[in-house]
A and B are shown apart, each in its own frame.
Chain A
Amino acid sequence: MNSPFFIVGTEFSGSSLIASILNLSESINCHIEPTPKLHIETRDTMDGKSINIKELLKKTILERVTAFSQIGCRYGETQSTLGPFLLELYELTGCKFIYVHRDGRDVVKLGMDKNNLRSGRVYRECRFNKLVTDRAVLKASEVLQGCDSHDYSRPRPIAGEALFKSWRSLSREEMLAFYWARINQIHLDMLAELPRECWMSIDCTAPSVEEINSVFEFLDCNAIGASKIKSKLTNESVALKAPNNEAGEYPYWVSWNSKKRTNFMSIAEKEMSLLRYATNKRTQWRPLNFGEVCNETKNIEERYAWIYQGRINAHRGFLKWLQQKPEIESIADFGSGIGYGYRDEITDIEYTGYDISKRVCDIANTNRKSPLQNFICVDYIENELDRKYDLVYSSGTIDNCYDVEAYLAAMVNASSKWIYLSCYRGWFPELLEHQYTYSEDHGCFYNDLSPSLVQKSLEDLGCTETLAYKLKSSNEEIDFETVIVARVN
């Protein structure tokens, strides 16, 4: 008899998708969350309550494994509550585990949608219910506490843990971040104790046909055709990028504001790194296709001339400011493009333009007007520069970046005296958080920055004399731009 297998991981990770694909094979019989689901026992175990786990498993899971083993197929099941029981389950059955995981930000989004649009029963102690639809409220009222073992099964911090005292004041997003981090941590800890050959992991954030086929190989089953897998992946898409436009839908993480980003990472950063969804703090908010548009730009000279003229007030303001700073002998321009305008205006001091588009940098280097000018292609947020400049300047680029905080940090890191940046999208003194909007088509963000938050961030980075002020825009559609200046110590 083949040993059984269990598809384990957090809710909303894609385990049902894997199960449905495996079930396309005639030799596999994979059940999706059969009962009993051990909801209460998993929470009690996580809370440190004493439970005879082996007896529990014998009376529940082993009974159904035995019953189905008569059929001849390989038995499998998905279950999101097995994390604390993996060692005992392996000892009792010699089973295999398929550990399914997914970017925690996706799991938070799906959990929020489930709560707000459908069930109203995800972390029911949460007080942040403004986004919950009436439909979800009604659904929630159908299940009283005492009967709601599903929500009970989700972990909560226990006394003595950092989040214990503040738990009920957290937003539901934060609670879900805790859920994702804690359940994955338990799985990673348990799997580390097991022989390597008894488990595999699969990232279901955007799984490929090859990755799915590796699950069949792991189970020693014949793979099914690639077309069948492709079809399943398409029909039961796990991708979140195409919103289904349901009213009240929680935003995909690329559109989270700065507070949501900070809150999430403050709870889930360690596990995001362990699972390789955020290995680099500088780029953890960079979408996969970010910047692709920069490589596709046509008529570059013309386009940059138009951009420059459209913001002439901002450029004049900066050049005037620069004239009053004779101590500045070297400038790094982040997001320089082809250096349009500046290649003519700044010829007597060192001027280095940085841009993420190689094509743009190549054109810029061809057209430079002074030997003191240079253009370098690099993602200056991701890569720390190997030298410092008297001034790090950036004109209307932070508005399109993937992480304002990381951008500011990169500017400060590369500067020895000053930073100066302008934001073309406007002046938003009412904002307490940066608002991010990502355009898949353009491959870039459109950010509205909170001036007060920028100032705070710069001060946290050690800057002094930080100024954030509005500047009359040359664009008729925008009244004012934002200018930020700070001294770097």
Chain B
Amino acid sequence: MSNDTVDPADNERQILERISYLETALENYGTQIRALNDVVSQIQVSVNSFSGQVNGASGQINELKNSVYQLTKNKNSSLHKVNGELSKFDQLVDYASYREQIKSNYGPIFAPIAEYEKLVSKIGSLKHLNPTPLSKLLPVNDGNKANISLRHDIDADPERAVELAGILAQYGIPGSFYVLHSAKYYGVFGDGKFHRNPRLKTWVQELMLSGMEVGVHNDAFGLNKQGKDGVKLFADEVEYLRSLGANITGSVAHNSFPTHFAENFEVFSEFVLFARESELKLGELSMKDLGLMYEGNYPVKRASISEGKLDDFISLDYAKNKLQWLKTYLHQNPVMEKKYEIDIWLYENDHWLVSDRRQGHNSFSTLKETNALIEYLSDIEGNCSIVVTVHPELYQR
């Protein structure tokens, strides 16, 4: 047998060895494949888990998106845009900061709004009281009842005013609300023009929907002092508010005597209290011409004016001695009287000033909380007229 000759037995053994080797290799590969399969499986589990986490994160992202959406919506709703542009008012006034400022300014002296609701519900249940819009305060037709008007001078917070109107509506009690046309919330001057707050329409319409009487808180002379034509601006705003659908039949004057030596209602020829030299345009307007039926102070000229008392009044510093000033203004006013008999004025911290000018009473008192006022109102007999004056910003939650 040559060396080249292959022993078939060897050949078979080699083949068997080869097969055995391949089988072992296959087994090893199988093991590795199974191991790899396990790895793949584990990776798959991880991928699934990761996918779950991604989806979970996706859910959280959705929530975040929703929150951002809400925040954006809220932010946008606090800004007013005209044709996609920020209104001129919002360009000139940071209204959100204004709101914060009001809250902060009145924070130390506010009364809880629940006290207002308590007062309103009580007025609704006292049968000898006849709640009436300020325009209808006089005359008192039912001798057994006292006409009572709730006057709201909106010096600073129209949103609170709307809230108070809602309370009145719930109890079916009329109220009269006067928007201050010189207030920052109402509008501002810029580029030589007056730019009204675009929110004004909503507030006025909400007051109308609540069934409240709407009027103008007249500050014609205040604007004059700022170098504007306050008289014209007042007349313009009466017309503007009417254009919103408000039935403007009257105004109430923003207190101005100590600063202007004139009450704002003296812009009306019907109500100039006494003749004097003045830069202001006293008597420039006619209520009749403006279609106004009442001035909510129901002022009456005094037959004579004591110069001494007048000097005392003027010299009183409102900022330093607010209470004394209000007492003089409401109860010992040297320049005017009022047609109605009782003034009730929300002062600070739920304290009420009461000027009772009924025949045989003539008293000025401070009632220290709403309960005391309710007691006072409960004891009033009929056949008189009462005005309760409230500045809505003095109520907070």
Tell me the A residues contacting B by CB distance below 8 Å: 40, 43, 49, 120-121, 124-127, 129, 132, 134, 137-138, 140-146, 148-149, 151-152, 156, 167-168, 324, 429-430, 432, 451-452, 455, 465-470, 485
**A120-B209, A125-B170, A452-B62 known; A141-B246 Cβ under 8 A:** yes
Question: Are B174 and A146 in contact, with the CB atoms below 8 A?
Answer: yes
Report whether B58 and A468 are in contact in the complex, using a CB–CB cutoff of 8 Å.
Answer: yes
Inter-chain CA distance A32–B168, complex, in Å, is: 30
Q: Is the CB of B66 within 8 A of A429?
A: yes
Q: A124-B209, A142-B247, A145-B172 are in contact. List 12 more A-B contacts (CB 8 A).
A: A120-B208, A125-B168, A129-B202, A129-B205, A141-B209, A144-B174, A144-B211, A145-B212, A465-B52, A467-B58, A468-B59, A470-B58
Sample 30 A-B pairs with CB under 8 A, ordered by A number: A49-B125, A125-B165, A125-B166, A125-B210, A127-B162, A129-B202, A134-B245, A137-B208, A141-B209, A141-B245, A141-B246, A144-B213, A145-B172, A145-B173, A145-B210, A145-B211, A146-B172, A148-B172, A152-B172, A168-B163, A168-B167, A324-B48, A429-B62, A430-B65, A452-B66, A465-B52, A465-B56, A467-B58, A468-B59, A469-B59
Bound Cα distance A469, B125 (Å): 58
CB-CB < 8 A to A451: which residues of B? 59, 62
Minimum CB–CB distance for A431 against chain B, Å: 8
By a CB distance below 8 angstroms, the chain B residues around A156 are 170
Q: In the complex, which residues of chain B have a beta carbon less than 8 angstroms from the beta carbon of A485?
A: 55
Residue among A129, A168, A452, A468 making CB contact with B170, cutoff 8 Å:
A168
| A146 to B124 CA separation, bound complex (whole angstroms) | 10
Q: Are B213 and A469 neighbours in the complex by a CB distance under 8 Å?
A: no
B205 adjacent to A467 (CB under 8 Å): no
CB-CB contacts below 8 Å: B7-60 with A: 44, 48, 52, 54-56, 58-59
For B212, give the chain A residue with the smallest CB separation.
A145
The reply to whether A430 and B66 contact each other, CB–CB distance below 8 Å, is yes
Instruction: Name the distance in Å between B244's Cβ and chain A's nearest Cβ.
Output: 8
Residue B133 is within 8 A (CB to CB) of chain A in the complex: yes
Does B132 count as interface, using CB distance less than 8 angstroms?
A: yes
CB of B206 within 8 A of chain A?
Answer: yes
CA distance A140 to B202 in the complex (A): 14
B223 at the interface (CB under 8 A from A): no
> B131 in the interface, Cβ–Cβ < 8 Å?
yes
Q: Residues of B contacting A43 with CB < 8 Å?
A: 172
Please, how many residues of chain B have a CB less than 8 angstroms from a CB on the other chain?
A: 42
- Asked if A429 and B206 make an inter-chain contact with CB atoms under 8 angstroms apart, the answer reads no
B69 at the interface (CB under 8 A from A): yes
Query: What is the CB-to-nearest-CB distance from B384 to chain A, in angstroms, rounded to a whole number?
Result: 18
For the complex, give the distance between the alpha carbons of A143 and B168 in Å: 14
A145 to B123 CA separation, bound complex (whole angstroms): 14
B381 at the interface (CB under 8 A from A): no
**Interface membership of B142, Cβ < 8 A:** no
User: Which residues in B have their C-beta under 8 angstroms from that of A132?
Assistant: 205, 209
Q: Of residues A126, A134, A146, A451, which shows the largest number of chain B Cβ atoms within 10 Å of its Cβ?
A: A146
Chain B positions within 8 Å of A144 at CB level = 133, 174, 211-213
> Do A137 and B205 form a contact, CB below 8 Å, given A148-B211, A451-B59?
yes
Across-interface contacts of A129 in B (CB, < 8 A):
202, 205-206, 209
Contacts of A470 in B (CB 8 A): 58
- Docked complex Cα distance between A120 and B56 (Å): 47
The interface residues of chain B lying within 8 Å CB-to-CB of A121 are 209, 211
Minimum CB–CB distance from B55 to chain A (whole Å) comes to 4
Chain B CB count within 10 A is highest, among A132, A137, A470, for A137
* B236 at interface by CB-CB < 8 Å: no
State which of A143, A432, A468, A469 has its C-beta within 8 Å of the C-beta of B211: A143
Bound CA–CA A465/B56 (angstroms):
8
User: Is B63 engaged at the interface, CB distance under 8 Å to the other chain?
Assistant: yes
Contact A455 B59 (CB under 8 A): yes
Give Cα distance in the complex from A466 to B60, angstroms. 11
Most chain A CB within 10 A, of B52, B56, B210, is at B210
Docked-complex contact B131 and A146, CB < 8 angstroms: yes
Q: Which residues of B contact A143 (CB under 8 A)?
A: 211
Asked whether B70 is an interface residue with its Cβ less than 8 Å from the other chain, the reply is yes
Assess the B66–A124 pair: CB atoms within 8 A: no
Given contacts A145-B169, A145-B173, contact A466 B59 (CB under 8 A): yes
In whole angstroms, what is the CA distance A419 to B335 when docked? Answer: 82
A138 partner residues in chain B, CB cutoff 8 A: 245
Question: B133 contacts A146, CB within 8 Å?
Answer: yes
CB distance from A149 to the nearest CB of B (A): 8
Given A127-B162, A452-B66: A141 and B247 interface contact (C-beta under 8 Å):
yes
Decide: A125 and B59 in contact? CB cutoff 8 A.
no
Distance between Cα atoms of A429 and B66 in the complex (Å): 7
Residues of A near B174 (CB, < 8 A) are 144-146
Within 8 Å by CB of A140, from B55, B162, B211, lies B211
B219 to chain A, nearest CB (A): 24
Q: Is B187 an interface residue (CB 8 A)?
A: no
